[in-house]
Each structure stands twice: as C-alpha cells, then as structure tokens.
Copies of this chain bind each other. A is one copy, B any other.
Amino acid sequence: MIRILEGRWKLVILFQLFGSNVRRFSELERAIPGVSQKMLIQQLRQLEQDGVVGRIVHPQVPPKVEYHLTEWGQSLCPVLDKLLSWAEAAPAEVRERLIERDMAAAAEAG
C-alpha cells in the first residue's frame, strides 16, 4: 500500500525533487538539514527501487550522481500538493502545535 512513503525523510526528499527536477547527492544533503548521509542514501535507494525516483551516474572524476523523479513520481506532485493544502487548513489550535513541533525538530538539526 502506501508503505512507499514510510520513513522520516521520504516526503522531504520528494519535495526537494519537485522544486528543481534534478538534484545532486550533495545538494540534497545540504538542502535537508538534519539528515545523515546514511539515511539519505538509504531512503533514496528505496525510492529508486519503488520506481519513484531515478538515478543517473555521470562517469567522471570527481563522481557526479543526479536524482530526479520518474514519470510516475512526477504524477505524485499534485497529490502531495493537496496534502500540503490540507495541512495548512488545520484549525488554529492544531497549527500552533504543529509549528511548535517543526521548530523543535529544526532546533535539533541545528
């Protein structure tokens, strides 16, 4: 089922890939505060296996690997957009708690 989106970083990664179609490994690493190389590569591999993102290795030195959404992955974009809209339509009370959470998470990440 929707196990595809399981994992703490999948959604964040996808949002990154929505913005600018193609991103390098190191770009993602910098763009996502708090993620470790290990987790990033793990989640990317899973998304790749699930056919959501594609991986292109440019054979050169230094290495260069780019990640992008597959066609199917792209079709997830409007759905996640709706999900985001829903989250933003939360009642005031809930919103405050959610924002608080995000602040705390961001603080941990530095």
Chain A residues engaging chain B, CB cutoff 8 angstroms? 1-4, 6, 8, 11, 49-51, 72, 75-76, 78-79, 82-84, 86-87, 89-91, 93-94, 97-98, 101-102, 105
Contacts and interface: CB of A to CB of B under 8 A. Distances in A.
Contacts of A72: 89-91, 94
Contacts of A76: 86
Q: Within the oligomer, what is the number of copies of this chain?
A: 2
Contact of A1 (B75, B93, B102): B102
A93 B70 CA distance: 14
Contacts of A6: 8
A2 B101 contact: no
Central interface residue in A1, A51, A84, A89, by most chain B CB within 10 Å: A1
